[in-house]
Amino acid sequence: MNGRIISGDREITETDLTNRVAQAASGLRNAGVGEDGAVAIILRNDFAFFEASMAAALIGAYAVPINWHFKADEAGYIVRDCGARAVVVHADLLPQVADGIPDDVALFVVPTPPEVAAAYGVAEIPPPPARAKDWDSFVAAQEPWREPAPGNRTSMIYTSGTTGRPKGVRREPAGEAANARMLEMVATVMGIAPDREIRSVVTGPMYHSAPNFYALYAARCGATIFLQPRFDAEQLLQLIEAERITHIHMVPTMFVRLLKLPEDVKAKYDVSSLEFVVHAAAPCPPDVKRAMIDWWGPVINEYYGGTETGAVTFHTAKEALAKPGTVGRALPWGIARIYDDDGKQLGAGEIGEVFLRLKDWPDFTYHGQDERRREIERDGLVSCGDVGYLDEDGYLFLRDRAKDMVISGGVNIYPAEIEAVLIGMPGVHDCAVFGIPNEEYGEELCAYVEPEDGAGLTADDVRGYLRAHVAGYKVPRTVEFQSPLPREDSGKIFKRKLREPYWRDAGRRI
């Protein structure tokens, strides 16, 4: 066992991680986390994220990563909904979520490491409440868990829809066939396998499903992993050269930031060690993909899927150049089909809703919301809400989203959730939130507000109100006022009319 995880000047070996996971597993079971239970994780990328996630799996429970930007109401909803019996949180994040954690839930605090504190400008950290336990001391005091894991459970990632409230994607434990398929899929799509020498950088936050799966799987395969506290383009280049990085998982926004570096900066770093770079989370503009391939070579790959489906389509750099704009072709064990609104399967070149499935992949439901799971299924396939088409060779191209979800920098943002908060602001009669073009992030949020008569609202008022209730990245950069807002015959706000000018002016499909 020679894998390692490195963060700043700190390091944990694969052997030490394995031992701490076994100790943490016993501790979590003693704290009341049972099989099929949940452990909520509110951490930036850190060793404790691996420890808590792997320990939960070892006792047959679900690790539930929570976006560390969340405030008390947002985080508290997920803690309560998943039935977490324990929360593991960084010390500097605890004050913003503490009021949302029920008193009967075990609370474990992880000291914020210096490299993370420096990256996020963390200064003074107030002392934790008396009921909180120090994670490191707690783990060190436990006897190791010695029972076999009762079924391989992946993290339960919360994802939203047009209703605004997040839903937990709860996947069934993987059996023998599913484990074999997982090995095959990860080796093909991410380039990771137990028999390969992997030196990787985790660039994205592990509360997202793809970085979460990638990082945890790489650790289980004995990779050497460098944790980047916060994505920085030049710092990534420095790591690639200094540590001879071979594998990375990225999102297109990172490519954009890398390409914006001055030419002399890009030229001074050696990236020849790279063997397998894979990206997902949002469509990558063809010119950005080509520029990255020209720079880093034919090592850049892409997959498409969702938290619910796993990676279903895949393509290499060579295919990307031959099929600009594609998100890949269904893997040998994957299915991608296009349906119209009436449920008819469409042919090559016909645009409709995209439905996906992986054979032998463990099925899922939305935790406590089986009916919502059934709503997105057709012929055994499920939809991630995207609209697109398959060409004559079976390559998938995305054209729109069936729902209003906004993808900004690879992060899913759900306007309905923001609208639900904004409608409660004094002086707001009605509102609409949607995505508009952003050169770097792909999309950014825009809010249209219909104020009540006599309300003297300003854009700063709106942003300030939202900032107090939701994570900062959910606060629209653009705020406009219009009375009345345009409405469809049904009475719903006609978002398309509001959205259309922004996308037309950007020369992009609405």
Q: What is the DSSP letter of 275?
A: -
pLDDT in tens, 353-404: 999 999 988 899 999 999 989 999 999 999 988 888 999 999 999 876 666 7
Query: So what's the pLDDT on residue 384?
Result: 86
What SS3 state is found at 447? strand
Query: So what's the pLDDT on residue 164?
Result: 55
What is the average pLDDT across 404-429? 84
Residue 177, pLDDT > 90, answer no
- Report the sign of the C-alpha dihedral through residues 177, 179, 180, 184, in that order: positive
Using CA atoms of 319, 324, 330, 331 in order, give the dihedral in degrees to the nearest 10. Answer: 30
Nearest-angstrom CA–CA distance, 274 and 253: 19
Domains assigned to the chain: 12-122+129-150 (3.40.50.980), 199-401 (3.40.50.12780), 406-505 (3.30.300.30)
Nearest-angstrom CA–CA distance, 363 and 9: 40
Query: So what's the pLDDT on residue 404?
Result: 74
Q: Residue 163 — very low, low, confident or very high, per pLDDT cuts 50/70/90?
A: very low
pLDDT in tens, 216-271: 999 999 999 999 999 999 999 999 999 999 999 999 889 988 998 999 999 999 99
Mean pLDDT, the chain, rounded, equals 92
Nearest-CA neighbor of 160 among 309, 366, 358, 355? 366
Distance from chain centroid for Cα 368: 21
User: What beta strand segments (E) does 100-223 contain?
Assistant: 106-110, 133-134, 157-159, 167-171, 199-202
Q: Residue 191 — very low, low, confident or very high, per pLDDT cuts 50/70/90?
A: very high
Could you tell me which residues are beta bridge partners of residue 432? 448
374's CB contacts (< 8 A; 6+ apart) are none
Nearest-angstrom CA–CA distance, 171 and 153: 7
| Of 110-119, 189-198, 283-292, 411-420, the least confident | 411-420
Q: What is the DSSP string of 176-208?
A: HHHHHHHHHHHHHHT---TTS--EEEE-S-TTS
Residue 510, pLDDT > 70, answer no
pLDDT in tens, 272-323: 999 999 999 777 888 889 999 999 999 999 999 989 999 999 999 999 999 9
Nearest-CA neighbor of 159 among 369, 318, 359? 369
The runs of H, that is alpha helices, within 221-302 are 233-243, 252-259, 263-267, 286-296
466-471 contact pairs (CB < 8 A, 24+): 466/418, 466/421, 466/422, 469/71, 469/73, 469/421, 470/71, 470/74, 470/417, 470/418, 470/421, 471/67, 471/69, 471/70, 471/71, 471/74
| Of 57-61, 411-415, 506-510, the least confident | 506-510
Query: So what's the pLDDT on residue 506?
Result: 63
> Above pLDDT 70, what percent of the chain?
96
The helix-helix angle for 14-30 and 47-58 (nearest 10°) equals 60
- Residue 442 in contact with residue 411, Cβ under 8 Å? no
The identity of residue 276, as a single letter, is F
> Above pLDDT 90, what percent of the chain?
74
Residue 108, pLDDT > 60, answer yes
